Structure 1
Amino acid sequence: MKAQIQRLSSEHDRTQFDCGEPALNLWLAQQSLQQQQRRQSRTFVLVDIERPEIILAYYTLTISEVDGSSYPSRKSQPRRLPVIRLGRLAVAKALQKSGIGEFLLMNAIERANEVSNNGGGVALAVDAKNEQAAAFYRRYDFTPAPDAPLLLFLPLGDHLAI
């Protein structure tokens, strides 16, 4: 299989994707393309280039902001901080535990750094669905908010080597 990450389009079959989490499947099938067309988010899909209509995994990025007091930093922060939010990340059941989640996360970090370098954003933020998901992100140096352990941040900028 030769995989490629593409921006979601109407050519991709969003209805057959199954990651085992109904909410993530339903969002992809019913809302992802609409939100993208309205410029509310960007969804990136992993496909096999021989069958590019089949989605193997996906993630979504949005521009957002967070309360500065939620950001894990020793320095005083402004009241509102710009962030790039990793809204969703899902891998088809048959491919879970294969390293694809890590591959997608690294791609999301690269894209978030590009956005940060060109338009601002102090961190890649993620609202982990549960403690298991939070543990996944902590393995990649995401730090939880002081008051919300499922809200995690990865600082962005030139100092971050990817």
Structure 2
Amino acid sequence: MRNEREEKLRVEPLASSHDRSGFESGVEPLDRYLRTQASQDARKNMAAPFVLLLANGTIAGYYTLSSTSVQLAELPAQTVRKLPRYPLVPATLLGRLAIDRRQQGKGYGRYLLADALYRAAQSEIASFAVIVDAKDDSARRFYERESFLVLSDQPMKLFRPMADIRRLFD
């Protein structure tokens, strides 16, 4: 049985009908991106923005997914041992994730992360991992709590192997 909160929330691709004007995460570049750039990125297939909507249609948060690659040398040695020796490994970039400041502290960040990981795992495009670039130490700790691993020599760039993500949804 779904809980009441889950029935009130829905995640869907960003559409022109979504009112983005009042969204405020407290991080101006993330707010500006949603208001001015996200639709264009979607139209040009640069990123796939998804919004978390409350029952009244208000945007509570959003994230973007796109294709990327990671250099084999950036991955930890124990991970590299299991991979073919290609110079680049395909991955999915969780490029942005933001929650409206009025909705922060309610677990919506984890909710959106789970949705993003599920969508990445369901994709028919090959992807070794989901990659994130944490904007600050707080974001890095959030992803580390969610089992993301730090890339070698890049403490703000983290990854979670797709095999691990798929096990979450089996």
TM-score range, shorter chain: over 0.9
1:115-130 to 2 correspondences below 5 Å = 115=123, 118-130=124-136
Question: SS where residue 58 of structure 1 aligns?
Answer: strand
Which structure has more strand as a fraction of its residues? 1
CA 1:13–1:38 in 2, change beyond 3 Å: closer, same or farther?
same
Residue-by-residue CA offset, 1:37-65 (whole Å, 9 max, x unaligned) = 1111101101123x32x211001001111
2:78 pairs with 1:70: no
2:11 pairs with 1:19: no
Q: Give the letter aligned to residue 142 of structure 1.
A: F
Structure 1 residue 125 displacement after superposition: 0.3
CA–CA distance in 1 between the matches of 2:77 and 2:120?
A: 19
Which segments of 5 or more consecutive residues in structure 2 lack a partner in the other structure?
Answer: none
Q: Give the letter aligned to residue 71 of structure 1.
A: L
Q: CA RMSD in A?
A: 1.4
Q: Which residue of 2 aligns with 1:86?
A: 94
Structure 1 residue 14 displacement after superposition: 1.6
Q: Which residue of 1 aligns with 2:60?
A: 56
CA–CA distance in 2 between the matches of 1:36 and 1:91?
A: 19
CA 1:150–1:104 in 2, change beyond 3 Å: closer, same or farther?
same
1:95-134 to 2 correspondences below 5 Å = 95-115=103-123, 118-134=124-140
> How many residues get paired?
158
Structure 1 residue 9 displacement after superposition: 0.4
Q: Percent identity?
A: 33
CA–CA distance in 2 between the matches of 1:112 and 1:56?
A: 21
Moved over 4 A (4+): none
1:34-45 to 2 correspondences below 5 Å = 34-45=40-51
Residue-by-residue CA offset, 1:8-51 (whole Å, 9 max, x unaligned) = 000001221000000100000010000001111101101123x3
Structure 1 residue 72 displacement after superposition: 2.5
